[in-house]
Chain A
Amino acid sequence: MSKRIDVKDLNVYYSKFLAVEDVNIEIEAKSVTAFIGPSGCGKSTFLRTLNRMHEVIPGGRVEGEVLLDGDNLYEPGVDPVTVRSQIGMVFQRPNPFPTMSIKDNVLAGVKLNGKKISRSDADSLVEKSLRGANLWNEVKDRLDKPGSGLSGGQQQRLCIARTIAVKPQVILMDEPCSALDPISTLAIEDLINELKSEFTVVIVTHNMQQAARVSDKTAFFNIAGTGKPGKLIEYADTATIFSNPSVKATEDYVSGRFG
């Protein structure tokens, strides 16, 4: 239930603007990979190319290959809908569907593409997913209430539950804790640790301690200046990146001497 991702010579554009240049990276299955780097270096942009969400933005396009267990996501004839059902995404701002109940939010992705699910299967999937997202105890008595009535941290875990309910191969998270308090953040970090037994997880974060706490490998992205493309500077085991990086810029960044 999880696959690896290999990225080869990837360039990412917004219309004419080259936002991310020449990324090569190999992400292991059942691991947590953190992307770090200064604001504007293209972490979100790159992350969104991993499940073809980048092209949702007008003018967004890529060159190069992203392989999911060897299958190129960008090969002609590949349906982005299929890609996204295998590679889920959690966004920076929690975004449960406001018009749906908590339960329907969890099932939203499961019922897509005309799939039917029996009531008892649905109930057990809802419970399993919410337990998986450490939210079950908090919401089990109000599954029919709107998802937008939860706290920010609960909403984010609801979004994670919704994502794991479709049983993806990979889960991408773009600063999933940046809108949350430290306690909700810890809850989500614990969750990420549990998720990696089943899923491949990629997380973008500005929080170095978080990267150090949750990830097995860390990728440092940087940008030479405004208007220049972002690049992958260094990619290694998290311990190496934080204690013994081989590039000066990485060391400056992780030790806070950036700028």
Chain B
Amino acid sequence: MTTNALRRNGSKGQAGDKVFSGAALGAGILILATLLAVAIFLFIQALPTFTADPTLITGGEGFASYIFPIVIGTVIAAAIALLIATPVGIAVALFISHYAPRRLAAGLGYVIDLLAAIPSVIYGAWGYLVLAPALVPTFQWLAANLGFIPIFAGPASQTGKTILTAGIVLAVMVLPIITSLSREIFLQTPKLHEEAALALGATRWEMITMSVLPFARPGIVSAVMLGLGRALGETMAVALVLSTGGLIPSLIKSGNQTIAAEIALNFPEAFGLRLAELIAAGLVLFVITLVVNLIARAIIARHKEFSGAN
């Protein structure tokens, strides 16, 4: 008697809904499972490193002293890359989205997207053949005039193959990622908010700081994080451009090493404990990436109340 005519009765649309939500859930689980599988694989393979006699580890003083310098090297290279690429990328993206005439903007956007698709070995070759030699005079000038600052301490590298060069090459590589994502987000700024600023008598730049940038903030953080991912994990370009060595504060001498390049350079000949060591290094890189991403999420979440999503 109590059949409710409003109760659902298995129409086609409903089935589609179920299939889609199932597929979305499945895809979500798959991603998490993959991440977990990678973490477990890295951990198991790396395990011997943590249990082995410290004297057997490369450097002879245990894993921590082996990994520490290259963690710092990785962070330095990535930091240089982001310090350069973030402001430049945002500026270029703003130029394309809010300043350039429409034709030019379309062309520029296209070129930037193309840049993102260039394989890293090409950037590496360019860094090795063109950029490194070209930077030598600058490095010498820095050593001569700003050498009292530890990061510019001389004598400067004669080949230009330094961590600063590697950082610059990485900056060029992540620039298109940051630019292209930021531009997409800048273009999505609601016209309503842009006009609100303009109607109050804002200049174009004020309109950008009042409407566009606040709206784009979380997106910019994501763009930078993706760029950082590429900078942290880059092997070829760094391996080609950096002449490696121990940890030193000077950015314009040969020296320093990044985790990704360390793994790539040594992996082919590695076996046994050395292999486990490199995989442990990979695990550390994985953790660094995760931590950085969590921090970025936290930054975004802290401003949720003012995000405009409510």
Contact = CB atoms under 8 A, between A and B. Distances in A.
Interface string B189-218: 010111111111111001000110011010
A88 interface: yes
B196 A112 contact: no
A113 B199 CA distance: 13
Given A56-B198, A95-B192, A113 B203 contact: yes
A98 to B, nearest CB: 3
A85 interface: yes
Contacts of B201: 81-82, 84-86, 109, 112-113, 166
B112 to A, nearest CB: 21
Contact of A98 (B202, B206, B306): B306
Contacts of A148: 308, 310
* Size band of the interface chain B makes with A: 20 to 34
B297 interface: no
Contacts of A157: none
Contacts of B214: 97-100
Contact of B210 (A84, A88, A97, A146): A97
Nearest to B203: A81
B200 A146 contact: no
Given A84-B200, A163-B200, A97 B192 contact: no
B206 A113 contact: yes
Contacts of B195: 53, 56, 89, 91, 95
Contacts of B199: 51, 53, 84, 88-89, 91, 163
Contacts of B190: 95
A95 B196 contact: yes
Interface residues of A, number: 32
A182 interface: no
Contacts of B197: 97, 108
Contacts of A81: 201-203
B206 A99 contact: no
Contact of B211 (A56, A86, A97, A162): A97
Interface string A75-101: 000000110111011010101111111
Interface in A115-170: 145-146, 148-149, 159, 162-163, 166
Interface string B163-205: 0000000000000000000000000001011111111111100
Given A56-B198, A146-B305, A97 B203 contact: no
A91 B193 CA distance: 10
B218 to A, nearest CB: 11
Interface in B18-51: none
B199 to A, nearest CB: 4
Residue of A91, A96, A97, A113 with most partner-chain B CB within 10 A: A97
A234 to B, nearest CB: 28
B198 A53 contact: yes
A88 B198 CA distance: 10
Contact of B196 (A85, A91, A101, A145): A91
A98 B308 contact: yes
A58 interface: yes
A186 B198 CA distance: 28
B192 A91 contact: yes
A96 to B, nearest CB: 8
A145 B192 CA distance: 21
Interface string B282-310: 00000000000000000000010111101
B299 to A, nearest CB: 14
Nearest to B308: A98
Interface of A: 51, 53, 56, 58, 81-82, 84-86, 88-89, 91, 93, 95-101, 108-109, 112-113, 145-146, 148-149, 159, 162-163, 166
20 contacts: A53-B195, A58-B102, A81-B201, A84-B198, A89-B195, A91-B199, A95-B193, A95-B196, A97-B210, A99-B217, A99-B306, A99-B307, A109-B201, A112-B200, A112-B202, A113-B203, A146-B310, A162-B200, A163-B199, A166-B201
10 smallest A-B Cβ distances: which pairs? A98-B308, A85-B201, A109-B200, A99-B214, A89-B199, A95-B196, A84-B201, A95-B192, A99-B306, A146-B306
Interface of B: 102, 190, 192-203, 206, 210-211, 214-215, 217, 303, 305-308, 310
Given A56-B198, A85-B201, A162-B200, 17 more contacts: A53-B198, A56-B194, A81-B201, A88-B200, A89-B199, A91-B196, A93-B192, A95-B196, A96-B196, A98-B193, A99-B215, A100-B214, A101-B306, A108-B200, A112-B206, A113-B201, A159-B196
